[in-house]
Amino acid sequence: MDKKLLQLDFRDAESRRSVLRTDPVRTSAEFGWKSLYFEYREGDVFETVEHVIQDHYLMVKLNPISRANRVLDGVTRAEIQRRGSTAYIPSGCSHRVSYGSPLGRLHLMALPPSMLDAVAAEMGVQRVDLAPRFANEEDRFVLAMAEAIDAELAAGNPHGYMFAETFAHTLAAHILTRYRSRTDTCGKAPALSEGRMRRLDQFVEANISAPISLADLARQVELSEYYFCRCFRLATGMSPYQYVLKKRMEHACACLRRHDMSIQDVAFASGFGDPVQFSKQFRRAHGMTPTAYRAQHAAKGRAFSAVA
């Protein structure tokens, strides 16, 4: 009789603990992300019981070198993990891993099957066979994405749930293109015209004080979320969340130059729910606090008036 394996649901703390046995250093769980689960983990001895992962799973190593034995669907291989070494485990695949040397540091990410199904449909993928991969090869794209996500969490998720949606779509597309054994695609992403960009600008500016999701943006230009992300980056060189952040900062600067709003009011009017996070983001973007920016602008105004 086949033994019943534990089901690992990353979004359930008890399920994670029963399989992974220790808690992570940092996790996306507290921010309520539904489209993407992420955690930063570090330690010495590490071993899991055999289990089945409900989501599509990516593990990427941060520091060299660790040695591990991994079992995927009954196949066992030894791994020498270096920075960037990445394991991919499809939904429903049985899995177990044990480290023969210190675990070190790594990032774990999980995407629900519904996310990959939706992105596959958006990409025009007719059939996909996703095969598990042992962590014997580097995937620098996944490493860069994971480090960006970890930095976002360490900062308190200042970009909100749209950040998770954007990265979940991008990771799903990467899985479908890199970790497939067969795929058929058709069609190309439609262009993001100047007219569509103007429509996006108008929508964001009209809703600058409110939450703006990836779906909201894609809806304005009548594209699927996957195609929108792809086309937007090609057209602008930035991701949708970076674009919205830039617009929020531009609006905040305009408010600060008016001198009739408190810093807290400027934060709320520009779509930042937390004035502290607003100040951190503003300093990162402009190299100074909102108060210093306002004072600098006031000094320039006085200097101009004196010359005039």
**Per-residue model confidence as pLDDT tens digits over 52-90:** 988 999 999 999 899 999 999 888 999 999 999 999 999
Structural domain includes residue 188: no
Under 8 Å between Cβ of 103 and 43: yes
| 135-194 pLDDT, tens digit each | 999 999 999 999 999 999 999 999 888 999 999 999 999 999 898 764 333 344 456 788
CATH of the domain at 239: 1.10.10.60
pTM for this predicted structure: 0.68
Give yes or no: residues 15 and 154 share one domain.
yes
Structural domain includes residue 1: no
Give yes or no: residues 171 and 260 share one domain.
no
Residues near 278 by beta carbon (within 8 Å), at least 6 away in sequence: 252, 263, 266, 267, 270, 272, 290
Give yes or no: residues 102 and 202 share one domain.
no
- The Cα–Cα gap between 285 and 294 comes to 15
Give yes or no: residues 23 and 156 share one domain.
yes
Structural domain includes residue 189: no
Give yes or no: residues 50 and 155 share one domain.
yes
The SS3 call for residue 54 is: coil
Above 50 in pLDDT, residue 261?
Answer: yes
Give yes or no: residues 23 and 159 share one domain.
yes
Domain boundary among the residues 149, 164, 183 is at: 183
Give yes or no: residues 68 and 172 share one domain.
yes
Residue range of the domain that includes 208? 194-307
Give yes or no: residues 141 and 20 share one domain.
yes
Q: CA dihedral in degrees (48, 52, 56, 58; nearest 10)? A: 20
CATH of the domain at 104: 2.60.120.10
Report the number of distinct structural domains present in the chain.
Answer: 2
Structural domain includes residue 246: yes
